[in-house]
Amino acid sequence: MLQILASRGDLVLLRDSVEWEGRSLLKALIREVALKGEQVQVLGCEVSEEVFREGLDSDTNSRLVYHDIFRDPQGWTGNWGPLGILRACLRGAEPGPCTLAVDSLSWLLLHAPCSALCQTLRALGHDNSHPGRVRVLGLLHEDVHGPGPLGALRSLAQIEVTVGGNLGFTTAQVFHPKPRHRSIEQTYWFSILPNFSLEFHKEPLLEPRPHRGPQSPTVDAMADLTFNVHLSKKEREARDTLALPFHFSSEKQQSLLHPALASSTSQIFYEPDADDYLDQEDPDDDLDI
Amino acid sequence: MFPELNNLLNVSPDKPEQGKFTLLCDAKTDGGFLVHHFLSFYLKANCKVCFVALLQSFSHYNIVGQKLGVNLIAARDRGQLVFFEGLKSTVEVLFGSKEQPNTLKFIRESSSDLKSLYEFVQKALTPSGDGSATSWKFPVLLVDDLSVLLSLGVEAVAVLDFIQYCRATVCCQLKGNVVALVHDSDQTEDEENAMLMNALGHQSSLILRAEGLVTGFCKDVHGQLKILRRGLLQPKSEQTRSLIYQYKIQDKSVTFFARGLSPAVL
């Protein structure tokens, strides 16, 4: 997955959701860039500098320049517009290759017009002091925006990484939209360690579901059943040969077609009890039929 | 304060977490019991609490507070609780004199930023320096609820900025906590409210979401609580990062149980 950091002049879009946050992945990618000895400019809109630097090693932190708009997003204590500082981020950067991490594009989208943000992002890639050598990592909360702004930013991005999860593991779907070529989509399974290094799981771990809580000894659910769950071969054969009452067979057909035959062979015997009261009168005598 | 909820969240008034933003949501049910829990929890934890109550009156919270073992009048008198009564202030803004300063003056003005409300919170929670604040553990801001601000005509972005300023001051600068309730109006397709809720979710480290049962109202199960912890993407953390329990609200407490294991059906 780290080849997404190989190309330059790109906007890499990290899409996350409330369930699966992408800031950890952003910090992990920043760490990878810093390990190569590059300086990283961070535009921090949603968390404070201390929180963002938390967990990163001192080497990474020394290469990280944090531009803080978290503390004063509206300039209530005297400040400037959000897009102004986005442009200003690169002014103080060292000449040469440069990485700008935006935390987050969602915040900028809420505070600036979408078209102005797209133009500014586009202009960053063609910055005169870093021609074609600026890489922008932008975090985007996709559940905050409508399809319009999302589509606009997606059209600018060369690489999209969607953070998600399955079976307790985090996944990153990397999507390279390539005009005139077939786009590439790959899924990576990974986890982020407390020092923000990435740990990849090479094979998709589909079946092992992590055990919930301490492992309990397995109990045989069929041990004390009062009925048979399975049939033996003999029992199965006996069941198969049994004719069910609702099955229509030729014998049944015969018996229905010749009911007289059946009735002539049967008789009804009636023996009254000694104490039975027998009324000798005709019960229908009064009907005058 | 509900001890069972403390157990689920692994906190106690003796060792509360600091520097966190907790988002409370409710969908198809009333999540007010969570607000009452956190109000009594932080008062018992000896924290300085600023309570921005936009939904109910002081006496309502006081009556419920007494059931949970806290006296809001006493807490207010000793300076532990700063209570902002939104219902009264709204009436004063609409029917009082224009010159009178009011925290909710944004209702009358065309620019709907919540700077005045933020300044109220900042003033309430920043230690004054005369030594009176040293007896409290740390400051806490409690808001019930943010959806009311949208109904008052404030834009969702302004509410987000307000919470961001509060987080910067309370969570980062003063190492305190922010707890806010927002309604999830999924059914009404209110885009502003949905955007506010999702954006706040991204700012929070813990989300408690009270939901009504999809099968409808039930006498013995009042809803389910989803606990979502946001943070590092570590393997096998699914079992701890997202938990769902069902609950039943009783007179003075709330009982929680695993889904389908209500004592009434066992």
User: Are B132 and B28 contacting, i.e. CB atoms less than 8 angstroms apart?
Assistant: no
pLDDT at residue B178, rounded to an integer: 96
CB-based contact A18:B207 (threshold 8 Å): yes
Q: Is residue A221 part of a domain?
A: no
> Which pLDDT band, with edges at 50, 70 and 90, does A62 fall under?
very high
Which CATH number covers residue A151? 3.40.50.300
Which one has a higher pLDDT value, B213 or A280?
B213
Question: Do A238 and A144 lie in a common domain?
Answer: no
Q: Say if residue B59's pLDDT is above 90.
A: yes
B220-248: string of b/e by CB count within 10 Å (b at 16+)?
Answer: ebbbbbebbebebbbbebbeebbeebbbb
Assess contact for B145 and B163: CB atoms under 8 A: no
Q: Which domain range does residue B67 map to?
A: 3-257
> How confident is the model over A235-247, as pLDDT tens digits?
889 988 888 878 8
Average pLDDT, chain B: 88
Decide if pLDDT at A166 tops 70: yes
Q: Is residue B265 part of a domain?
A: no
**CA of B202 vs chain A CAs: smallest distance (Å):** 6
Residue A246 and residue A188 in one domain? no
Residues A54 and A195 reside in one and the same domain: yes
Q: Which residues of A touch B231 (CB under 8 A)?
A: 21, 24
Mutate to test the interface with A, among B232, B236, B240, B242 (most CBs of A within 10 A): B232
Verify that A192 and A245 share a domain, yes or no.
no
pLDDT in tens, B13-43: 888 889 999 999 999 899 999 999 999 999 9
- Contact of B116 with chain A, judged by CB distance below 8 Å, is answered with no
Q: Are residues A179 and A64 in the same domain?
A: yes
Judge whether A278 lies within some domain: no
The pLDDT > 90 percentage for chain A reads 21
Nearest 5°: phi and psi at A197? -95, 150
pLDDT of residue A263: 55
Nearest CA in chain B to A27: B232
For residue A272, being part of any structural domain is answered with no
Residue with more model confidence, B232 or B171? B171
**Domain around A255:** 234-265
Question: pTM of this prediction?
Answer: 0.80
User: Residue A114 pLDDT > 50, yes or no?
Assistant: yes
> In terms of C-beta density within 10 A (0-12 exposed, 13-18 middle, 19 or more buried), how is residue A226 classed?
exposed
Q: Which pLDDT value is given to residue B217?
A: 84
Nearest to B198 among A18, A25, A76 (CB): A18
Dihedral pair phi/psi, residue B176, rounded to 5° = -110, -165
Q: Give the model's pLDDT for residue A86.
A: 81
| Residue A108, min C-alpha distance to chain B (Å) | 11
Is A135 in the same domain as A245? no
On whether both A241 and A179 belong to a single domain, the answer is no
- Which B residues 24-53 touch A at CB under 8 Å? none
In angstroms, rounded to a whole number, what is the distance separating the alpha carbons of residues B55 and A86?
39
Looking at CA atoms only, how far is residue B1 from chain A in angstroms? 27
If asked whether residues A141 and A247 sit together in one domain, one would say no
- DSSP assignment of chain A, as one string? -GGGGT-SS-EEEEEE-SSS--HHHHHHHHHHHHHTT--EEEEESSS-HHHHHTTS-HHHHHTEEEEE-SS-TT-TTT---HHHHHHHTTTTSPSSSEEEEEETHHHHHHHS-HHHHHHHHHHHHT-SSSTT-EEEEEEEETTTS-HHHHHHHHHH-SEEEEEEEETTEEEEEEEE--TTS--EEEEEEEEE-TTS-EEEESS---S-PPPPSSPPPP--TTTT-SS-SS--HHHHHHHHHPPPTT---HHHHHHHH-HHHHHHT--------TT-----S-TTGGG--
CA gap A242, A97 in Å, rounded: 83
Residue A20 in domain: yes
Whole-number pLDDT of residue A212: 43
What's the pLDDT band for A195 if we cut at 50, 70, 90? confident
Find out whether B230 and B256 touch, Cβ atoms under 8 Å: no
Is B234 in a helix, a strand, or coil?
Answer: coil
A274 lies in a domain?
Answer: no
A184 Cβ partners below 8 Å, 6+ apart? Answer: A174, A175, A176, A178
Nearest to A70 among B164, B233, B238 (CB): B164
Any domain includes A207: no
Interface test with A, best of B167, B189, B192, B202 (most A CBs within 10 A): B202
- Phi-psi label, residue B231: left if phi above 0, alpha if psi -120 to 50, beta otherwise: left
Of B171, B172, B239, the CB nearest to A212: B239
A182 plus A249 within the same structural domain = no
Q: How far apart are CA B227 and CA B82, in angstroms?
A: 28
- CA dist B84 and B103 (Å) reads 9
- From B153, B154, B2, B22, select the one nearest B64 (Cα to Cα): B2
B266 within a domain of the structure (yes/no): no
pLDDT band at A214 (very low <50, low <70, confident <90, very high): very low
Reading the block at residue A59, the tokens are: 């080497």
**pLDDT surpassing 90 at residue B66:** yes
> In terms of domains, do A186 and A253 share one?
no
What is the pLDDT at residue A167?
64
Mean pLDDT over B179-191 rounds to 85
Does any domain span residue A289?
no
**Of all residues in chain A, what percent carry a pLDDT higher than 70?**
81
Q: From the CA of B243, how many Å to the nearest CA of chain A? A: 12
- Looking at the fold, whether A90 and A138 belong to one and the same domain comes out as yes
Structure tokens at B69: 């073992």
Give the C-alpha separation, B24 to B201, whole Å.
Answer: 9
Q: From B243, which residue of chain A is nearest by alpha-carbon distance? A: A212
The last residue of a domain, from among A201, A220, A252: A201
Q: Which of A31-40, A93-102, A199-208, B147-156 has the lowest mean pLDDT?
A: A199-208
Band (B124; pLDDT cuts 50, 70, 90)? very high
Nearest of B89, B263, B84, B49 to residue B176 by alpha carbon? B49
- pLDDT of residue B123 exceeding 70, the answer is yes
Same domain? For A142 and A246 the reply is: no
Pairing of strands A11-16, B223-229: unpaired
Mutate to test the interface with B, among A25, A110, A197 (most CBs of B within 10 A): A110
| Least confident span in A103-107, A123-127, A157-161, B233-237 | B233-237
How many structural domains is chain B composed of?
A: 1
CATH of the domain at B172: 3.40.50.300
Give the pLDDT score at A192: 86
Q: B145: which 2 tokens?
A: 């609820």
Rounded alpha-carbon distances, angstroms, from residue A109 to A74, A146, A148: 14, 11, 11
pLDDT reading at A78 higher than 60:
no
* Residues from chain A contacting residue B203 (CB–CB below 8 Å): 46
Residues of chain A positioned with their CB less than 8 A from the CB of B242 = 19
Asked if B235's CB is within 8 angstroms of A199's CB, the reply is yes
pLDDT at site A132: 60
- Report how far residue A17's alpha carbon sits from residue A38's, in angstroms, rounded to the nearest whole number: 29
Domain count, chain A: 2
**pLDDT for A191:** 83
